[in-house]
């Protein structure tokens, strides 16, 4: 049984860079300004998605300038992009250190 869907939005300029770094990609939508990556629900648990990413629950696209169109359809059954590879690729393209790699302050 499929999980629910959430989405991770990134500025369109990062879209092709992320796409080329991911081993498996689910549904990706674009509205011109942003690319929207469909991820399983609760993919934000214990993850601080790096700026300028925007995480939305229920895969509802807030205040989009136009209705997003599907630009990538997965080969498999599930519509999701695995969140950890997406998170790591996004950290890489934005120059952000993954949260679990940051020093812990007491």
72 closest CA partner among 11, 1, 104, 24: 24
Residue 12 phi/psi, 5° resolution?
A: -55, -30
The answer to whether position 34 is within a domain reads yes
The answer to whether position 106 is within a domain reads no
CA dist 18 and 71 (Å) reads 14
Domain count, the chain: 1
The answer to whether position 60 is within a domain reads yes
CA dist 8 and 88 (Å) reads 13
**Domain range enclosing 86:** 5-101
CA dist 70 and 72 (Å) reads 6
The answer to whether position 95 is within a domain reads yes
The answer to whether position 16 is within a domain reads yes
pLDDT tens digits in sequence order for the chain, 106 residues long: 456 789 999 999 999 999 999 989 999 999 889 999 999 999 888 888 999 999 988 866 556 566 778 888 887 777 899 999 999 999 999 999 988 765 656 5
């Amino acid at each position: 049984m499929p999980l629910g869907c959430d989405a991770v939005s990134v500025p369109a300029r990062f879209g092709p860079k992320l796409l080329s770094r991911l081993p498996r990609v689910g549904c990706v939508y674009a509205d011109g300004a942003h690319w929207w990556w469909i991820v399983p629900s609760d993919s934000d648990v214990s993850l601080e998605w790096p700026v300028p990413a925007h995480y939305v629950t229920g895969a509802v696209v807030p205040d989009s300038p136009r209705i997003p169109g599907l630009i990538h359809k997965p080969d498999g059954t599930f519509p999701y992009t695995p969140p950890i590879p997406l998170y790591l690729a996004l950290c890489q393209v934005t120059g952000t250190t993954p949260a679990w790699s940051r020093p812990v302050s007491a």
